């Protein structure tokens, strides 16, 4: 074989290897993009109530309370209280907490940021509205203006969420007061947060989807 033939063969082998590397790289990139898109998909489409976000997202790496008023957590399974029907629920949760001294923080004092969603399904029960807590969406923020003693949150993992577990942080005036976990197997859970004297309440999600489907504030006496 002549030198020119050997050179041509080597050049063809080089081009073939280069083409293979390019194809593998493109395939890997497309696969990663598809996996990321699929993982972040949710059943509902929500829109932020306010497109402008405060300068701080209130995230913290600490899992311990930075305040002395560590919230009381009610590890209460309330999914059965709402029933097993897939009919939308609006007032089916935490009704025993509502009265003259309470405020519905979805209807009467809506969050000023957050991704609102409709038809959120948790453990087979559909809720009329809720807020999706994920790290790439605006945190759910309320301005309590120091008027409340406690806030009860009902939180769970939507049935259509990619991951079966999720976690969220609760912050009061930019101080983390708790980090909580929920799961599909555990159903909807209710958490009672001590917010006495606090102004800005934040629920900030992680990379795994959770949904807040009820928020009831107990006003100060």
Q: What is the pLDDT along the chain (221 residues), one digit of tens a residue?
A: 565 665 667 767 877 787 778 867 666 655 554 444 433 333 333 333 333 333 333 333 333 333 333 334 444 444 444 434 344 444 444 444 456 799 999 999 999 999 999 999 999 999 999 999 998 899 999 999 999 999 999 999 999 999 999 999 999 999 999 999 999 999 999 999 999 999 999 999 988 999 999 999 999 88
pLDDT for the residue numbered 145: 95
Q: Are 134 and 168 in contact, with CB atoms under 8 Å apart?
A: no
Are 56 and 80 in the same domain? yes
Are 57 and 83 in the same domain? yes
d(CA 210, CA 206): 8
Nearest to 215 by CA among 121, 119, 137, 127: 127
Are 81 and 6 in the same domain? no
Say which DSSP state 80 is in.
G
Are 3 and 72 in the same domain? no
pTM score, whole prediction: 0.61
Domains in the chain, number: 2
Return phi, psi of residue 210, to 5°: -130, 160
| Local structure of 36: helix, strand or coil | helix
Are 24 and 69 in the same domain? no
**Structural domain range at position 18:** 1-39
Are 73 and 15 in the same domain? no
Are 53 and 34 in the same domain? no
Return phi, psi of residue 60, to 5°: -150, 145
**Close Cβ partners of 76 (under 8 Å, ≥ 6 residues apart):** 189, 190
Are 132 and 60 in the same domain? yes
pLDDT for the residue numbered 99: 60
pLDDT for the residue numbered 49: 38
Are 67 and 110 in the same domain? yes
- Separation in Å, CA 154 to CA 82, 146, 188: 11, 21, 7
- Separation in Å, CA 198 to CA 5, 25, 129, 190, 216: 81, 51, 25, 20, 15
The H-or-E segment that residue 152 falls in is: strand 148-156
Are 57 and 26 in the same domain? no
Are 179 and 76 in the same domain? yes
d(CA 170, CA 165): 17
pLDDT for the residue numbered 12: 75
Are 55 and 2 in the same domain? no
The CATH code of the domain that includes 138 is: 2.60.120
């Amino acid at each position: 074989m002549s030198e020119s033939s050997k050179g041509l063969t080597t050049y063809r082998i080089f081009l073939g290897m280069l083409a293979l590397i390019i194809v593998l790289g493109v395939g890997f990139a497309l696969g990663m993009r598809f996996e990321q898109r699929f993982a972040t998909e949710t059943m509902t489409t929500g829109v932020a109530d306010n497109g402008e976000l405060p300068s701080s997202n209130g995230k913290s790496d600490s899992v311990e309370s930075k305040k002395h008023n560590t919230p009381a957590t009610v590890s209460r399974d309330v999914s059965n209280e709402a029933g097993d029907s897939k009919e939308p629920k609006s007032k089916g949760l935490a009704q025993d907490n509502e009265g003259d001294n309470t405020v519905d923080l979805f209807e009467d004092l809506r969050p000023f940021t957050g991704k609102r969603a409709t038809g959120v399904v948790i453990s087979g029960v559909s809720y009329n509205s809720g807020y999706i807590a994920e790290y790439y969406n605006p945190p759910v923020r309320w301005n309590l203006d120091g008027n409340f003693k406690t806030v009860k949150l009902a939180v769970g993992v939507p049935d259509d969420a990619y991951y079966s577990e999720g976690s969220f942080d609760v912050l009061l005036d930019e101080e983390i007061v708790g980090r909580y976990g929920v799961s599909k197997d555990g159903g909807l859970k209710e958490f009672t947060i001590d917010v006495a004297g606090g102004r800005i309440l934040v629920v900030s999600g992680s990379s795994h989807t959770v949904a807040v489907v009820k928020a009831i504030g107990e006003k100060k006496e």
